Chain A
Amino acid sequence: MHTIATGNRGVAEAVREAKPGVVAAYPITPQTEIVELIAQYVAQGTMQATYIPVESEHSAMAACIGASATGIRTFTATSSQGLLYMHEMLHWAAGARLPIVMANVNRAVAPPWNVWADHTDALSQRDTGWLQVYVATAQEAYDTMLMAFRIAEHEDVLLPVMVNLDGFILSHTMQPLETTPAGDFIPPLSLPHAINTKDPAAYSPLTGPEYYFGFRWEIERSMRDARQVIREVEDAFAAKFGRRYGPAEEYRMEDAEVVIVAMGTLGREAQVAVDRLRQEGIPAGAIRLRWFRPFARLDLAGREVVVIDRDYSFGFGGVLASSLRATAPCNPYSVIAGLGGQEVTYADIAGFVRQRKPGGEFWFGVENHGDV
């Protein structure tokens, strides 16, 4: 099918293609279209999954854990408060080594109530052991969802994957979408530790200090192995479908002297800003970071960096800027913009670049926020 569809529909169509056995989910704006479409597909018979309309997000993840533990493919979706509510169970899913795939429609965290795009929800889960990727178009949402199942279920990974898409800006914006059939792209799931009553075991039992750290190391080992798996799956996807993805999307980077780094739709908006800046003679480039966990390794040596964070870690700094400062490494101009769906245009982004100061921090829209 080749049509105009929302990011949410891109997710739902991909989930249908991936054929999970169980979907357990709870509605929350702006994710609702995903679960409504899935409920529709199941009711129409175009999707053979058991859909459990659970009574809360904490229960959604708990139900996914119970289902996934039997070795069946599992999916859920949420946003913001819902993601926060299931925080405890996110840790559980990763620790239990379950390849659950979840779409998170990025939305601001209350209070105050705000339903618009913001990355604080997902970024505040960055320590849970979930893989995290950020998409910027409906096509990328569809494609990445297919890849997510294959990556999560790979024997060297066996960790849950969170696919993030910006609330409203991507979830509700209709764009061209080609829903190419997955074919055999996602192999059947074979969970090595699936519950087997003929070979009983205790799962996640009380584990003493002499053993616990070993299990935590195993999560990190798989997270490191995941880099290679992601590369292989993205290569396989490109070979089969002709669309190529990587740890980050680069735009006009070959001779760029100043780089704009962002995630999600701001990463694409930045590309338009680059075109404007280039017209003014500023050799700008843009990097849209896709894989946040495992964190994409960027080489920003010798370039000035402007990072846009659609989030903040209070008392510390923008999460993306802090991550790049530590890993790229660089001394970025950290811009905090887009919180709670704050409108950020390519003209605004070009402005951030023109006003940049290495090591500075700028809260877009805030007057007089003093020195960092």
Chain B
Amino acid sequence: MAEIPKEEYILPTTSACAGCSSSLCLRYILKASGPDTVLVIPACCTSVIQGMYPKTAVNVPVYNIAFAAAAACASGMSAAFRALGKKTNVIVYAGDGGTVDIGLQSLSGAFERETDFLYICYDNEAYGNTGMQRSGATPVGARTTTTPAGKAHPRKDIEQIVEAHRPPYVATACSAYPTDLFSKVRKALSLPGSKFIHLLAPCPTGWRFPPGKTIEMGKLAVKTGMWILYEREYGKLAISAPSKAAMAKPLPLSDYLSPQGRFKGITPGQVQELQREIVERRDRLLREAA
């Protein structure tokens, strides 16, 4: 595996919450992409984390854009760079709300047109920037400010939605496994066309666990099977090592649910639903890998 460069592109003055997954991830993403990169950022936590005018904590160009429009903006930008003969990496860095809900149309359009860009959805399973309202990525049973009794519906499977566009590369990652994220970004940027990385970003503020436990929560997500690490290159599936281990010997789901305040009061029926999703997802991927 390639050595991780020392150069930092996130300067030490972000406005992130203590224990934020996003700023950790962005460090590794930009180390992987290098300086010839533009980040396209719709409304999300990172709109604030990057800092306020006249300062910025990010040492590559950041193009902030409206909530629904990141992938469309990237489409135009990528086409323009290629027309100018430039190889500049265009990377959308968007939250789950801006991807799965309001941004879904432009994401689908960009992928259907095989836009040459990388779309990274960092997912904290709620609208973090506006105070933790539910999104289409919020799991069933989770408490948010707009689902105070726990979300009634299961979350959208954005990976399968993106995979339906048959892109060259789809992968999942997690802030608790930064070197895995690094190599997946490197791999994605080496391929032409539209690439997607779904990045679990445990959020102490939204999920209600102590800020020091962010990495632990990410590891629990993977070890219980709530989050499966894999990549698909031209449709060919490869399950990442931590998830292979988790599939063989998963930790009980309660290990993941009980430390999080957002799952307090989750009903046994909703726990069963989450368990069913874990098993369905695992079985589907194992069948395919076989």
Contact = CB atoms under 8 A, between A and B. Distances in A.
Bind each other: yes
Interface of A: 21-22, 24, 49-50, 52-56, 58-60, 62-72, 74, 88-89, 92, 195-197, 200-208, 211
B96 to A, nearest CB: 19
B64 A66 contact: no
B54 A62 contact: no
Given A50-B83, A62-B72, A92-B66, A67 B59 contact: no
Contacts of B172: none
Contacts of A74: 76, 80
Contacts of A21: 80, 83-84
B62 A205 contact: yes
A55 B110 CA distance: 8
Contacts of B220: none
B81 interface: yes
B77 A67 contact: yes
Contacts of B74: 66
B75 A59 contact: yes
Contacts of A203: 61-64
Contact of B63 (A59, A60, A66): A66
B133 interface: no
A201 B52 contact: no
Contacts of B65: 62, 65-66, 92, 204
Contact of A50 (B48, B59, B82): B82
B54 A196 contact: no
Contacts of A197: 35-38, 60-61, 88
A75 B73 CA distance: 14
Contacts of B71: 59
Contact of B61 (A53, A56, A65, A196): A196
A59 B58 CA distance: 26
Contacts of B267: none
Q: Which residue, of B48, B83, B88, B112, has the highest number of chain A Cβ atoms within 10 A?
A: B83
Given A52-B113, A56-B106, A63 B53 contact: no
4 cross-chain pairs, A with B, having the tightest CB-CB distances, nearest first? A55-B109, A63-B76, A66-B76, A59-B72
B79 A50 contact: yes
Contacts of A22: 76, 79-80, 83
Given A65-B65, A67-B77, A69-B63, A201 B56 contact: yes
B77 to A, nearest CB: 3
B62 A67 contact: no
B87 to A, nearest CB: 10
Given A24-B79, A52-B113, 4 more contacts: A66-B73, A70-B77, A88-B66, A197-B35
- Label chain B's interface by main secondary structure: mixed
A52 B56 contact: no
A195 B61 contact: yes
Given A55-B105, A66-B63, A89-B66, A206 B76 contact: no
A65 B80 CA distance: 10
15 contacts: A22-B80, A55-B108, A66-B40, A69-B63, A69-B77, A70-B77, A70-B81, A72-B83, A74-B80, A200-B59, A200-B60, A200-B62, A201-B62, A202-B61, A211-B53
B261 interface: no
B79 to A, nearest CB: 4
Nearest to A53: B113
A67 B76 contact: yes
A62 B76 contact: yes
Contacts of A59: 69, 71-72, 75, 105-106, 109
A253 to B, nearest CB: 44
A250 B157 CA distance: 61
A168 B232 CA distance: 50
Contacts of B54: 211
Contacts of B60: 197, 200
Contacts of B20: none
Nearest to B9: A200
B52 A208 contact: yes
Contacts of A55: 72, 105-106, 108-109, 112
B51 interface: yes
B170 interface: no
Interface in B24-67: 35-38, 40, 47-48, 50-54, 56, 58-66
Contacts of B105: 55-56, 59
Contacts of A64: 76
- Among B52, B72, B80, the one with the most A-chain Cβ atoms within 10 Å of its Cβ is B80
Q: Pick from B51, B53, B70 the residue with the most CB of A within 10 Å.
A: B53
